[in-house]
Structure 1
Amino acid sequence: MDFNTFHHAYPHMLRWLIDEPAYRNAPRGHASREQLGVRFRLARADQRVPFVPARRLNIVFNFAEALWYLAGRDDLDFIAYYAPSIRNYSADGSRLTGTAYGRALFGAAEGRPDQWPSVVETLREDPDSKRAVIQIFRGEELQVPGNPDVSCTLGLQFLLREGALHGVGFMRANDVYRGMTSDVFSFTFLQEMLARELGVPVGSYVHQVGSLHLYDPDHARALEVLADPAAHEPPPWRFPAMPEGDNWPYVREVLVLEEQLRLGRHSLTADPGSYGLPPYWTQVLTLFEIHRRIRHREHVSEEQLAFLDPLYRRLVEERWPSVTASASVAAPASVAG
């Protein structure tokens, strides 16, 4: 199945799982509808968000997860700040093994190579190569009794074709309502990072899934998404593009500032542009600052909201409706993904 953007693909995949499941099963007691061997292609890989108010997408978590991967970290301190429920998947209460894809990307896992630089080198030396592959799933994950965190992602492949960087994500399993939105965001984000590093345009993205499923508790929520008129209209915005050139210096600076915000050691100045980052990354920092204020019941000003790209502002207001310029923001019950 081919789609222009993820905004077009998302409601289609939800409807397919609801109306035409191939199987009904309950692995580990979790009842679900399921399709096997699913593949879809996004012509515009960088358009990675479904603009559907009923979905209440957490754009802050999306950026946090992608940056957590780029940081090569596996600790809960970072990612659980943005998604507290992810702690349920940690065997030791302090780190994640399967879900921490950054360990595979950058060699933080014991005895594994640093795969990202190898992919960059492979594509620079041979633009026609089919070997630019990052392996994520490890067979030994299945040997751990009761492992709560087995990688859903098998691997990622990047291919330079006709001057553009294309991506393929290989999933052993994917939750169509929740997990797929996060995974498509993160994997196409990595694809765009790599394309900028190589100095080429972003091409298409293919998402391949062994088991695509919709858990029964999310069935009603999926129907709400499909009932939203926005799910069947053209996307109202274009997702912002990363700056041209190598973005790694900006990512490293954002990670430093994110940690200071998360640990309460810093808050953004009234003029976030004073940090000297390109507007794209300044917007990401502003999202983290607004999230910090929401968590700590601090005032979110109209100036802060107005600084955001209209796309981000709308997603923030849909996720946290209490965010207004006229009153202090009361933290919601959960800020998880």
Structure 2
Amino acid sequence: MITGPVFATFTDAYLAVLGEIYQRPSYSTSARGKTATEAINVSFTIANPVARTPYLAARRANVVFNHAEALWYLAGRDDLDMIAHYARRLRGLSTDGKTLTGTAYGPRLFNPSAPDGLSQFDRVLNLLRTDPDTKRAAMLVMRPDELADAGNPDVACTLALQFMLRAGRLHMTAYMRGNDAMVGLLGDTFAFTFIQEFAARLLGVDVGAYGHHVGSMHINALNIPAVERILAEQTVHVFPHTAMPAGTSWADLDTVLDWEQRLRSNQDTFSPDRVDLDLYWREVIALFEVHRQITHYPDQPVTADALDLLRPGHRWLVEQRWPDRMPAAVSP
């Protein structure tokens, strides 16, 4: 079979990509002031896209941002208020200080558009319902006009996303012009597989494999020390991967997004008894409650009660990311 390597989980793929580019780069590049080592035409498949989170202490992944970004896309938003709250570096990509363009995939994928008033996402799901074997269920992201301004700081890295429904399983493929292997690869794969899983729930089918194809996969020179620490890590932690519940709907996402806004603005505090949602989504909201405490009360440790609301893998990631904000008894 003429395909790229297949990995069981994203962690396996992530470590393989970092190792290959670090040890055997094809090129050295310098674009837009960034020097990088690069491999071109990189492809891989993840057999279980639900296993989208790498538990690597040296990586210190921001699992709160990962969920916020996926929800930001699904909500069709382009505002800085939400996403830059979880990743301040994104403010540097905005030309008006209020919105993002290329980075904001949500409006292109999930907002209604002409001629039928449906979103690209709705169109491809409708197509899959009527023609399950279709090869046309693709959603375009990068637009030709993004290259009209050579100084545009925010050109979409993703070209397209494609769904394929085969043998009762929803597969997904991402096509990217470029991908930062250290930073962007993790966030992009998390968000895209989250969208894939949500689409599978809406269609009432199982989640299939996830394919990732990139023209330029690269490691920026400034990130080489971090990559070395990740590759040198002796222990890869393993936690159960929790699947999105069957029957998940847009109404569930609306509830989660409502709580995200209230917690981001410090207008409320979360407790599980206040929401009628599956445990999966209550654990997602709990991440935003923990982040609320970290953001709005910088001189206080996160409460043990809030940490206890997290699923084990999320709690471990939070402890790695913000060790100085943990109660003394749980500080790693």
TM-score scaled to structure 1, two decimals? 0.92
Pick one of 295, 306, 322 that aligns with 2:324: 322
Q: Equivalents in 1 of 2:248, 2:310: separation in Å? A: 23
Contact 1:273 1:279 in 2 (8 A): no
Taking the TM superposition and a 5 Å limit, the aligned residue runs for 1:265-276 are 265-268=267-270, 271-276=271-276
Secondary structure of 2:156's counterpart equals coil
**% same residue:** 45
Give the structure 1 partner of residue 229 of structure 2.
Answer: 224
Taking the TM superposition and a 5 Å limit, the aligned residue runs for 1:229-240 are 229-231=234-236, 236-240=238-242
Unmatched 5+ residue regions in structure 2? Answer: none
Contact 1:103 1:109 in 2 (8 A): no
Pick one of 186, 189, 193 that aligns with 1:188: 193
Q: Equivalents in 2 of 1:201, 1:165: separation in Å? A: 6
Deviation at 1:59, TM superposition (A): 0.2
Q: Equivalents in 2 of 1:282, 1:141: separation in Å? A: 38
1:25 aligns with 2:51: no
Deviation at 1:324, TM superposition (A): 2.4
Deviation at 1:275, TM superposition (A): 0.9
1:160 aligns with 2:165: yes
Question: Using a 3 Å threshold, how does the CA distance of structure 1 residues 323 and 4 change in structure 2: closer, same or farther?
Answer: same
Q: Equivalents in 1 of 2:44, 2:319: separation in Å? A: 30
Give the structure 1 partner of residue 292 of structure 2.
Answer: 292
Contact 2:135 2:164 in 1 (8 A): yes
Contact 1:300 1:323 in 2 (8 A): yes
Give the structure 2 partner of residue 125 of structure 1.
Answer: 130
RMSD of the alignment, in Å?
Answer: 1.7
Contact 2:50 2:241 in 1 (8 A): yes
Pick one of 75, 98, 104 that aligns with 1:100: 104
Give the structure 2 partner of residue 144 of structure 1.
Answer: 149
Q: Equivalents in 1 of 2:273, 2:47: separation in Å? A: 33
Letter in 2 for 1:217: L
Taking the TM superposition and a 5 Å limit, the aligned residue runs for 1:49-88 are 49-88=53-92
Contact 1:3 1:40 in 2 (8 A): yes
Give the structure 2 partner of residue 256 of structure 1.
Answer: 258
Q: Equivalents in 1 of 2:152, 2:113: separation in Å? A: 17
Q: Equivalents in 2 of 1:256, 1:295: separation in Å? A: 18
Deviation at 1:23, TM superposition (A): 0.4
Unmatched 5+ residue regions in structure 1? Answer: 330-337
Letter in 2 for 1:208: H
Q: Spell out structure 1 runs of 4+ moving beyond 2 A.
A: 107-113, 323-327
Contact 2:263 2:289 in 1 (8 A): yes
Deviation at 1:326, TM superposition (A): 4.7
Deviation at 1:237, TM superposition (A): 1.4
Letter in 2 for 1:202: V
Q: Equivalents in 1 of 2:49, 2:87: separation in Å? A: 25
Secondary structure of 1:55's counterpart equals coil
Deviation at 1:308, TM superposition (A): 1.2
Deviation at 1:299, TM superposition (A): 4.1
Deviation at 1:306, TM superposition (A): 1.7
Question: Using a 3 Å threshold, how does the CA distance of structure 1 residues 28 and 110 change in structure 2: closer, same or farther?
Answer: farther
Q: Equivalents in 2 of 1:29, 1:23: separation in Å? A: 16
Contact 1:72 1:108 in 2 (8 A): no
Q: Equivalents in 1 of 2:273, 2:41: separation in Å? A: 46
Deviation at 1:92, TM superposition (A): 1.2
Deviation at 1:110, TM superposition (A): 8.9
Q: Equivalents in 2 of 1:113, 1:176: separation in Å? A: 33
CA deviation map 1:17-66 (0-9, x unaligned): 11111100101121000011110000101110111111000000000000
Contact 2:266 2:296 in 1 (8 A): no
Contact 2:61 2:321 in 1 (8 A): yes
Letter in 2 for 1:193: F
Pick one of 17, 37, 62 that aligns with 2:41: 37
